[in-house]
Structure 1
Amino acid sequence: MSERVDLWNNGNLVQDVFLGEIKVPVKVLRNDSFQAWYLLQPKENGNKSSKPDDLGSLRLNICYTEDCVLPSEYYTSLRNLLLKSSDVQPISASAAYILSEVCRDKYDAVLPLVRLLLHHHKLVPFVAAVAELDLKDTQEANTIFRGNSLATRCVDEMMKIVGKHYLKVTLKPVIDEICESPKPCEIDPIKLKEGDNVESNMDNLRYYVDKVFREIVQSSISCPTLMCDVFYSLRHLAAKRFPNDPHVQYSAVSSFVFLRFFAVAVVSPHTFHLRPHHPDAQTSRTLTLISKAIQTLGSWGSLTKSKLSSFKETFMCEFFKTFQEEKFTESVKKFLDDVSSTESKEPSGLSEPVHLKEGEMYKRAQGRTRIGKKNFKKRWFCLTSREFTYHKQQDKEPIFTIPIKNILAVEKLDESSFNKKNMFQVLHGEKPLYIQANNCVEASEWIEALCRVTRCNQKRLSFYHPSAFLNGSWLCCKATVESSVGCARCTADVPADTQIEIDGDRETERIYSLFTINRSKLQKLEEACGSIAVYQGPRKEPDDYSNFTIEDSVATFHTLQQIIDVVEKLSESHEKYQKKRSSSAKYGSEENPIVGKVS
């Protein structure tokens, strides 16, 4: 097993240039101090023209960190302290916020924090709380969420984690077309090559921009539920902060979804796993121009001034003179409305329901208490943007209709319920609708389609019963009340391949390590809270205290004491657990592996 390291030249005056790559065996990274010279190798793309000795060499100095993750019960206190952060008033006095304050690089804190909160379904309220704090310091509506604050970094990381599938279904086909069948798109007169036709290049660029823009604004139905929930919170917080600016509700969302998500993915598709490698220089330039255009179009729905005045480059201004501003502005607003609304909306804003999917499957008769083949009837199912129906036959009047807004959850059904495979359930306030698809692929497609069209329903369930209610009890949890709350957390609010595996204990251990490393800063922050100078006079040590956010010194001091106490106890647990493991586990076992070479 090895790690690949690419070396690029991304100087300001030239396009990114691939210099070479190396592969480093993972096992050597376990050495306490690893330094070595490696010859750069050509990219593994079948190109035999490059010779290894033409590429130079690269020296690596790698730091390998190994965390010891204890059993889950050891992290209960620290985990609970972090998870209740969104309920702490003010949010700056919470454990999660303090973590970001004491870490030199906020990214070190944001990654495990977002993953932990995401795993425990606590991310949305925390993002809303830190975003509200961010907005207190925002004086101009046109600069909303433009900095690298804790709020913006949390949203950025969240979009990277849950938005992978969204980017894949939205952008990958058109990005593949641009990279595999490139057309010249340079429109800067200074950078034009001999023989280039600027009008032809402008047409090519316009074709790509139109295609990318169209894919984005028609993709709202694919936007993950979590992203929609976060955008909804940001939109309403922004409108509350700037009540006299009707455009700020759009710029609050566009600053993330266009500027920090789609535009970034377009210019760096390899970073978001849309392409296997960094594109060549010409394609990279094309993607940069497309990204500039997408950022601009995304801001059109929230600009109060003339659209063309926002361009710094004359050639981009000339390019955008061909765009119909009103048409694009309305498309952007409609898209932003769709991805930041709590109500289910119809794609494309059409007045007539949009047909999404139909097909023949089996439905179990409602209210039957026994298991039997006669209880399953073949029916024709139809899903539109307004309703989910089933019919005796195709083109017949529906026997039963469920409005989309009434669907509370769509989940798989345990095979043990009726001894049948490929079953799923639609929960809608009455008795669950149990459906058997013809195969596992068809079942997944129906679940995904139903989840996407109901992702903005305000009364979505958090828990469900994975089995059926038969003979007076739920087969899954044995509860005897049919209306009892579900025993399993809902999982199908996003497509199956976007559900990520997060080890909550691993992330909590990483946060514990960060608190331990930054113990001195915790103590400085504690001293700042206890100093009368913090809230009654000038600070005596601005270098130590001025960078801390302390809104409530008493609440912050209380949380700090809790953090320090929990970290100390966890450190003791680490020492005891390591000693116990060393003394009881057999040397060379999985619990106590051999470290180093065997002589």
Structure 2
Amino acid sequence: MAKRSTLFIRIVEGKNLPIKDITGNSDPYCIVRIDNEAIISRDDVIGKVSISKEALVVKPQGLDGWMNLTEIDPDEEVQGEIHLQVALLGAGDIPRKLRCRVLEARDLAKKDRNGASDPFVRVRYNGKSQESTVVKKSCYPRWNESFEFDLDDNSTDSLLSVEVWDWDLVSKNDFLGKVLFNINRLQSAQQEEGWFRLGPDKPKHSQCDLFLRPSLGSLRLQLRLRDETVLPSIHYQPLTELLCRSVKTHFSGNWPDLIMLIDETTTSENRQEVATNLVKIFLGQGLINEFLDVLFKLELEKTTEPNTLFRSNSLASKSMESFLKVAGMQYLHRLLGPIINRIFEEKKYVELDPNKMELKEAGCSGLHRLQTEADVIQQSSSLLQSYLSELMAAILQSSSFFPLLLGQAFQQLYQRVQARFPDPEYRKAKFIAVTSFLCLRFISPAIMSPKLFHLREKHADARTSRTLLLLAKAIQTIGNLDTLMCCSKEPWMVPLQPAIQQGIAQLKDFISCLVTIHDSDALSLQTNMSLQCDSMEKEGFLFLHKTKDKCILKTTPFKKYHVALSKDKLSYSRSQHSKKSLFISLPEICAVEKVEEKCFGSANVMQIISSNDSGQQETLYLDCKSVNELNQWLSALRKACSHNKNTISCYHPGIYKADRWSCCHQKEKTDPGCDKTRHGVTLQEWYDPLDPDLEAQLIYRHLSGVQCALRDKYYELIKQDEVDDTDTDTDPKKVDGLTTLFKTLQDLHDAHAAVEKEELLKNKNIFLELKA
């Protein structure tokens, strides 16, 4: 049994945002941060919205509304904690002292360009202040210094202030946070010790100033905090079996089934979440294509106009979209990576819309002339055609590495639509059904926002973003298989019409090839993929650190090694052709996991936990160049170790440093771990694998919340079926299906109630023991 807290955030829209660009607009995007993380960005920060956990806890139904942006004050942006010991010394005739012992701090904000800070502590009392030494380049400093002040019983100032600052040689020091102590509260306890959360400084703006400052605009947000108790796997087996049975028996006429009921009763507010949960459940059960095929069939039965097919946010559309992101992300990176990188590196000015065009001087020295509109259009269309040609060529060549399960899903979709709309006038419908997902919901969004698809680590600048948008529009037009509609709405796209027309023909050829894989070919392809997985080899230069010691002491422990993964071992040496190398046998690997960014100041570090001959665990840390490389190595190693028997169930996402784990602060080096390991591999891709118990728990929660709607829809469908059937007697098997579902949900409800009762009794016993 495990506890899972999930925060759902939907950023809906913004309004009245201030102008930040010389064009008279802004290119806004949002960053979501948790737990008082400091706001630091090279871009122009417009403002922030802060919401406390307490505010969400009292609103279990969630928050939905417009929230005003507030100003960013560097002295208000703090994070982290500090370990302090504050005590009163002396009694009687001995002069009383106030002693503050500053031990250490953790998770401080990064204020310097090197990804860390140079923190020191300033302790203030009764008009006097003392400072600690500066710890260079650390967000987890240790001071272990004591400061004493003469205690003045007559002073009106009863506060002790402990401030943390980032030291800077040239510019002013940056405030990192502070803790205030009421000395009067110490009179009885005499001493107080522990970890204290750093707080912000006093606001610099008075209440009157709030009315004088310009409005920063508003964001409409939807937020909901949900705590889940995930029961042991055995409790979810009946529900999972019902879902699988619904998929398997749907085409045998056993309906109305569970998938149909979920499709009919899921609302737009929770459709995306339900779709994602179902996709992951059926992926884990090996029935994803069967599940998607049921949704295709249900969608086609409700559709009379093929031009609107899969264009709405139905359960089928959302499920296919989620499936694409899980099963096709590696394909997407291989397909789009080169062209996206080229656009980011070239930073060419591209514009076709005369209303948004910027005309600049052109020509060599002494012969300057103003660019004409025709010049810009000609140059822009030439560049866009070049990008488009490169991308379409890549798509045509990608059939050889197109994911097998995706290909099978598109083949099913293509055949279903062809059977539903066989008339010649609808001959494009089967192609558009595929492109509506592949182009409009996958490739085009990734081109527009490459950071959201992990293609780039940062958002594009305004110029690059415009180029990406225009290229995405071209791909959308190709995906719609219609050049006239786009050019009629946006006539400035006409210069791209020949390239788009050629792209449509190429895309149709690609889809025709994709959906003509026969069963024997698919089996052969599956076998080849399995063989490739078994004999997987990967190599490259990475920064590596291996620790057998009690803790990590070096500031920069990583050294460059050539790392190679073969079918039986992971070896590493200082050069590619070195005869002297070290290795880890793959069966000895217990876990392959990511490492928290705060541990080494890098978001691309992974750890390989292995067990040596004596049974002791060792950890190898690898620092990758990018998030893509990190994910690829995670994927390769997890695949290679997927059948290991000595895997561990928990691990530490942090490092053991300063006699404790940075993630959970446990002091035992051999502590089993504080987070769940992720051993499985989803679809031979490099996304984190599935958690079937959590997904089943989330589906249970959804079904429990719509039981009335499920019952009403169930009997409505049965009644409709009886009208169409000559036999007027209700099939008892149909009613039994609903009874089985509700009994399964009730059993899960009872299991949760028993756990909650046990926890209440446990807490009560703890309270009684403490009281005693």
Q: TM-score, normalised by structure 2?
A: 0.50
CA–CA distance in structure 1, aligned partners of residues 6 and 500 of structure 2: 51
CA–CA distance in structure 2, aligned partners of residues 296 and 101 of structure 1: 32
Q: Which residue of 2 aligns with 1:574?
A: 752
Does residue 1:114 correspond to 2:279, yes or no?
A: yes
Closer, same or farther in 2 for the Cα pair 1:492/1:259, shift >3 Å? same
Letter of the 2:299 partner, please give it. Answer: D
CA–CA distance in structure 2, aligned partners of residues 564 and 83 of structure 1: 16
Q: Which residue of 2 aligns with 1:150?
A: 315
How far did residue 557 of structure 1 move?
A: 4.7
Q: Which residue of 1 aligns with 2:443?
A: 262
Instruction: From 206, 210, 226, give the equivalent of 1:65.
Output: 226
Closer, same or farther in 2 for the Cα pair 1:439/1:227, shift >3 Å? farther
Does residue 1:123 correspond to 2:301, yes or no?
A: no
Does residue 1:337 correspond to 2:502, yes or no?
A: no
How far did residue 77 of structure 1 move?
A: 0.9
Contact kept in structure 2, 1:6 and 1:22, CA below 8 Å:
no
Does residue 1:560 correspond to 2:725, yes or no?
A: no
CA–CA distance in structure 2, aligned partners of residues 185 and 164 of structure 1: 28
CA–CA distance in structure 1, aligned partners of residues 453 and 744 of structure 2: 37
Contact kept in structure 1, 2:348 and 2:463, CA below 8 Å:
no
Does residue 1:234 correspond to 2:413, yes or no?
A: yes
Does residue 1:497 correspond to 2:699, yes or no?
A: no
Contact kept in structure 2, 1:100 and 1:110, CA below 8 Å:
no
Letter of the 1:221 partner, please give it. Answer: S
Does residue 1:507 correspond to 2:651, yes or no?
A: no
CA–CA distance in structure 2, aligned partners of residues 111 and 11 of structure 1: 33
CA–CA distance in structure 2, aligned partners of residues 250 and 143 of structure 1: 13
Deviates more, 1:273-282 or 1:128-137: 273-282
- Larger-gyration structure (1/2): 2
Closer, same or farther in 2 for the Cα pair 1:267/1:345, shift >3 Å? farther
Contact kept in structure 2, 1:22 and 1:38, CA below 8 Å:
no
- What does residue range 325-474 of structure 1 map to in structure 2 within 5 Å? 325=501, 327-343=502-518, 407=528, 409-410=530-531, 411-412=533-534, 422-423=566-567
CA–CA distance in structure 2, aligned partners of residues 222 and 171 of structure 1: 13
Q: TM-score, normalised by structure 1?
A: 0.63
Does residue 1:87 correspond to 2:248, yes or no?
A: yes
Contact kept in structure 2, 1:184 and 1:204, CA below 8 Å:
no
How far did residue 330 of structure 1 move?
A: 4.2
Q: Which residue of 1 aligns with 2:27?
A: 17
Q: Which residue of 2 aligns with 1:185?
A: 350
Contact kept in structure 2, 1:2 and 1:25, CA below 8 Å:
no
Does residue 1:101 correspond to 2:264, yes or no?
A: yes
Alignment gaps of 5+ in structure 1: 347-402, 415-420, 425-437, 443-464, 468-490, 538-551, 589-593, 595-599
Helix, strand or coil at the partner of 1:66: strand
How far did residue 309 of structure 1 move?
A: 5.5
Letter of the 2:241 partner, please give it. Answer: N
Instruction: From 433, 448, 455, give the equivalent of 1:252.
Output: 433
- Per-residue Cα deviation, 1:333-352 (whole angstroms, up to 9, x for no partner): 33213433425999xxxxxx
Contact kept in structure 1, 2:247 and 2:290, CA below 8 Å:
yes
Deviates more, 1:85-94 or 1:13-22: 13-22
Contact kept in structure 2, 1:21 and 1:41, CA below 8 Å:
no
How far did residue 244 of structure 1 move?
A: 3.7
CA–CA distance in structure 2, aligned partners of residues 288 and 441 of structure 1: 47
Contact kept in structure 2, 1:186 and 1:286, CA below 8 Å:
yes
How far did residue 119 of structure 1 move?
A: 1.4
Helix, strand or coil at the partner of 1:65: strand
Helix, strand or coil at the partner of 1:312: helix
CA–CA distance in structure 1, aligned partners of residues 34 and 439 of structure 2: 36
Letter of the 1:81 partner, please give it. Answer: L
Helix, strand or coil at the partner of 1:67: strand
Letter of the 2:341 partner, please give it. Answer: D
- Per-residue Cα deviation, 1:198-229 (whole angstroms, up to 9, x for no partner): 22222222222222333333222332222111
Helix, strand or coil at the partner of 1:186: coil
Contact kept in structure 2, 1:264 and 1:291, CA below 8 Å:
yes
Helix, strand or coil at the partner of 2:28: strand
Closer, same or farther in 2 for the Cα pair 1:71/1:185, shift >3 Å? same
- Per-residue Cα deviation, 1:133-173 (whole angstroms, up to 9, x for no partner): 22233334444332322222211110012222222222133
- Per-residue Cα deviation, 1:444-463 (whole angstroms, up to 9, x for no partner): xxxxxxxxxxxxxxxxxxxx
Q: Which residue of 1 aligns with 2:379?
A: 200
CA–CA distance in structure 1, aligned partners of residues 73 and 385 of structure 2: 35
Cα RMSD after superposing both structures? 4.9
Closer, same or farther in 2 for the Cα pair 1:492/1:508, shift >3 Å? closer
CA–CA distance in structure 1, aligned partners of residues 53 and 239 of structure 2: 30
Q: Which residue of 2 aligns with 1:216?
A: 395
Closer, same or farther in 2 for the Cα pair 1:578/1:154, shift >3 Å? same
- Per-residue Cα deviation, 1:329-379 (whole angstroms, up to 9, x for no partner): 442233213433425999xxxxxxxxxxxxxxxxxxxxxxxxxxxxxxxxx
Contact kept in structure 1, 2:69 and 2:217, CA below 8 Å:
yes
CA–CA distance in structure 2, aligned partners of residues 413 and 178 of structure 1: 35
- Per-residue Cα deviation, 1:534-571 (whole angstroms, up to 9, x for no partner): 8659xxxxxxxxxxxxxx99776543322212111110
Deviates more, 1:226-235 or 1:39-48: 39-48
Letter of the 1:568 partner, please give it. Answer: Q
CA–CA distance in structure 2, aligned partners of residues 10 and 243 of structure 1: 47
Instruction: From 470, 473, 476, give the equivalent of 1:295.
Output: 476
Contact kept in structure 2, 1:159 and 1:261, CA below 8 Å:
yes
Q: Which residue of 2 aligns with 1:32?
A: 57
CA–CA distance in structure 2, aligned partners of residues 231 and 11 of structure 1: 43
Letter of the 1:215 partner, please give it. Answer: A
Helix, strand or coil at the partner of 2:286: coil
CA–CA distance in structure 1, aligned partners of residues 338 and 351 of structure 2: 22
Instruction: From 283, 296, 300, give the equivalent of 1:135.
Output: 300
How far did residue 122 of structure 1 move?
A: 1.1
Structure holding more strand per residue:
2
**Number of residue pairs aligned between Structure 1 and Structure 2:** 451
Does residue 1:285 correspond to 2:466, yes or no?
A: yes
CA–CA distance in structure 1, aligned partners of residues 228 and 494 of structure 2: 55
Alignment gaps of 5+ in structure 2: 18-22, 37-50, 75-109, 114-170, 172-203, 206-212, 361-372, 537-564, 569-581, 587-641, 645-679, 725-729
- Per-residue Cα deviation, 1:278-299 (whole angstroms, up to 9, x for no partner): 4344433322211111122234
Helix, strand or coil at the partner of 1:152: helix
CA–CA distance in structure 1, aligned partners of residues 681 and 689 of structure 2: 14
Closer, same or farther in 2 for the Cα pair 1:522/1:299, shift >3 Å? closer
- Per-residue Cα deviation, 1:208-265 (whole angstroms, up to 9, x for no partner): 2222333333222332222111011111112222234454442232221112211121
CA–CA distance in structure 2, aligned partners of residues 85 and 24 of structure 1: 39
Bigger RCO of structures 1 and 2 (CA < 8 A, at least 6 apart): 1
Contact kept in structure 2, 1:225 and 1:493, CA below 8 Å:
no
Letter of the 1:156 partner, please give it. Answer: E
Structure holding more helix per residue:
1
Letter of the 1:510 partner, please give it. Answer: L
Contact kept in structure 2, 1:22 and 1:40, CA below 8 Å:
no
CA–CA distance in structure 2, aligned partners of residues 423 and 337 of structure 1: 36
